[in-house]
Amino acid sequence: MALALIPRAYESLLRPLLFTLPPEKAQKVADRALKMWPLWKAAAQVGGFTSPRIETRVGGLALKNPVGLAAGYDKNCELLPGLAALGFGYVTCGTVTLEPRPGNPGTRLLRDESRHALINALGFPGLGLDAAAERISADRPLVGNTPVVVSVSGADIEDIATCHRTMEPLADAIEVNISSPNTANLRVFHYPDVLGELLDELNESRTRPLFVKLPPFPSHEDDPKRHDLALSLADVCASKHVDALTVANTQPVQDERLGVGMGGLSGMPIFGQMLRMVHEVREIVGDNTSINASGGIFNAWDAWQALLAGTDSVQVMTGFVYRGPGIPRDISVGLDRMAALQGLDSVRSVGRWASAGPAANA
């Protein structure tokens, strides 16, 4: 089946079947399909989409399109060939931690189908650094020219630095996750001085682009202290020459159905908040730091609004679960058409086009 037909087929036929299963079991079924990567590669050759208009750069990486897969889907970096064949501009795997982790106990992933959302309390389950590194080393030749970003995290600076040193030679960029709502010890990096120490440590030896995934933050009106603290983290990242900021992680929520009583909300309900955060972070970091918008991206119009807010790329994960393997192509085609309608040669111009105002673009 050509990739152009997959979104409708997935949403009308396959998703209803998958959603009869518990979320984590449904992902295991989907993962088995993704491991049949030669089929996806063949489909891409028939129905893939490229256009110079949607080529872009993020944090020093050249991308064929601005649609990335967010961290959290391919936790152990074992699905890269299949994911790359779907047409993502880049694929983020992980989050990888130094040692294997079972994750949180009990129910830890819920669907909210009425809102096209997920609530997760996974807690970084994974096989650990060595297993992920071995898998990437084996599969990297099968990925082609799709950039691979590896998300890493840890309880302290040394854990993260060790993950960074091991993964950097295997990846095109490293994304440091300081923001999981389900992992309490990461909050130490929400203090600007501690984050600065971490970045200084990584900068001593790094040779490839470095991304940082920021925590979500409220508006200034709702909580001035938390708002200003979060933006100070973005400012620290820019001053330490971080190449890109991912804005942002899931929104913390309480839910008694989860084994630990709370988790992170993702999907359509956080889209508006994501746009606000992207706009505010862009005002802080200026034009020298790339931004990856993560939160509620489901279609090309969502991605276009994120570009208008100031992002350089969008990351999908919940949208991937709900819309299926055709989502990178679907968004790419839509962005290309919208840019053409506005007379733009590149999606990189969308933010500047918006800033110029209606009169300048008439």
Q: What is the pLDDT of residues 275-329, one digit of tens each?
A: 999 999 999 999 999 999 999 999 999 999 999 999 999 999 999 999 999 999 9
Q: What is the pLDDT of residues 146-197, one digit of tens each?
A: 999 999 999 899 999 999 999 999 999 999 999 876 566 667 899 999 999 9
Catalytic residue among 151, 179, 180, 266: 180
| Res. 355: pLDDT tops 60 | no
| CATH assignment at residue 308 | 3.20.20.70
Tokens for 63, please give them.
């991308």
Q: What is the pLDDT of residue 187?
A: 77
Residue 273: pLDDT band (50, 70, 90) is very high
Nearest-angstrom CA–CA distance, 207 and 174: 10
The residues, any chain, with a CB within 8 Å of residue 65's CB and separated by 6 or more, are 50, 54, 55, 56, 87, 88, 89, 328, 331, 332, 335
The residues, any chain, with a CB within 8 Å of residue 12's CB and separated by 6 or more, are none
| Res. 95: pLDDT tops 70 | yes
| Res. 6: pLDDT tops 70 | no
CB atoms within 10 A of CB 121: 26
Per the annotation, the verdict on 151 as an active-site residue is: no
Q: What is the pLDDT of residue 360?
A: 43
Q: Are 18 and 62 in contact (CB under 8 A)?
A: no
Q: What is the pLDDT of residue 54?
A: 98
| Res. 144: pLDDT tops 70 | yes
| Res. 69: pLDDT tops 70 | yes
Q: Which domain holds residue 301?
A: 3-361
Q: What is the DSSP string of 90-112?
A: EEEEEEE-SS-B---SS--EEEE
Q: Are 249 and 216 in contact (CB under 8 A)?
A: yes
**Across 80-107, average pLDDT:** 95
Q: What is the pLDDT of residue 337?
A: 97
Q: What is the DSSP string of 177-206?
A: E---TT-GGGGGGGSHHHHHHHHHHHHTT-
Alpha helix stretches (DSSP H) within 204-299 = 224-239, 271-285
At 294, which helix (H) or strand (E)? strand 290-294
The residues, any chain, with a CB within 8 Å of residue 340's CB and separated by 6 or more, are 53
Nearest-angstrom CA–CA distance, 266 and 346: 29
**Across 26-45, average pLDDT:** 85
Q: What is the pLDDT of residue 359?
A: 41
**Across 326-355, average pLDDT:** 89
Cis peptide upstream of residue 20 (ω within 30 degrees of 0): no
Residue 361: pLDDT band (50, 70, 90) is very low
**Across 114-135, average pLDDT:** 96
3-class SS at 115?
helix
**Across 221-248, average pLDDT:** 97
Q: CA gyration radius for the chain?
A: 19
How many domains, the chain? 1
State the virtual CA torsion across 169, 102, 320, 45 in degrees, nearest 10. 50
Q: What is the pLDDT of residue 42?
A: 76
Nearest-angstrom CA–CA distance, 278 and 245: 10
User: Tokens 């058409």, residue?
Assistant: 337
Q: What is the mean pLDDT of the chain?
A: 92
